[in-house]
């Protein structure tokens, strides 16, 4: 068994697509009409047949409460691995990404940083 899909709730699918592809450098994998929404996924450019991230609309009131609650408690909605967290941090800062936590070693050989994705989420990047 393996993880093939995970999701983050977003308050604007088009803005999320732009952020995740143009700012984070993910690649659009699926974009299929689903009523007034879209089945919209992105993947890592290094593993385009790997795990997909669904940019899921948060129009459901339960999703909105959940998204707002985890954001207010500073809980990241997702975590992405990076090879060089300090270089990634600097690159994303130059692109205007707002970090809520700069690279911080939280355990021996594990460093994390947290940023806002412009769509209602905190995202963590991690180097192990």
Identify the three-state secondary structure at position 58: coil
Identify the three-state secondary structure at position 25: coil
Name the band, by pLDDT with cuts 50, 70 and 90, for residue 47. Answer: very high
Which own/partner contact pairs does 40-47 have at CB distance under 8 Å and 24+ positions apart?
A: 40/13, 40/16, 41/5, 42/17
Express as a percent the part of the chain with pLDDT over 90.
Answer: 98
Mean pLDDT of the chain: 97
Distance in angstroms between the alpha carbons of the first and the last residue of the chain: 23
Reported as a single tens digit per residue, the pLDDT across 65-103 is 999 999 999 999 999 999 999 999 999 999 999 999 999
Topology classification of domain 5-127: 2,3-Dihydroxybiphenyl 1,2-Dioxygenase; domain 1 (3.10.180)
Instruction: Write down the pTM of the prediction.
Output: 0.95
- What's the rounded Cα separation, in Å, for the pair 10 and 42? 13
- What's the rounded Cα separation, in Å, for the pair 89 and 61? 33
């Amino acid at each position: 068994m393996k993880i093939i899909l995970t999701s983050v709730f977003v308050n604007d699918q088009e803005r999320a697509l732009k952020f995740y592809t143009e700012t984070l450098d993910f690649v659009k994998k699926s974009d299929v009409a689903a009523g007034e929404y879209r089945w919209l996924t992105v993947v890592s450019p290094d593993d385009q047949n790997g795990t997909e991230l669904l940019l899921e609309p948060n129009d459901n009131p339960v999703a909105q409460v959940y998204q707002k609650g985890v954001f207010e408690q500073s809980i990241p909605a997702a975590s992405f691995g990076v090879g060089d967290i300090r270089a990634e941090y600097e690159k994303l800062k130059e692109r205007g990404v707002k970090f809520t936590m700069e690279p911080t070693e939280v355990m021996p050989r594990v460093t994390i940083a947290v940023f806002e994705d412009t769509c209602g989420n905190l995202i963590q990047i991690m180097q192990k």
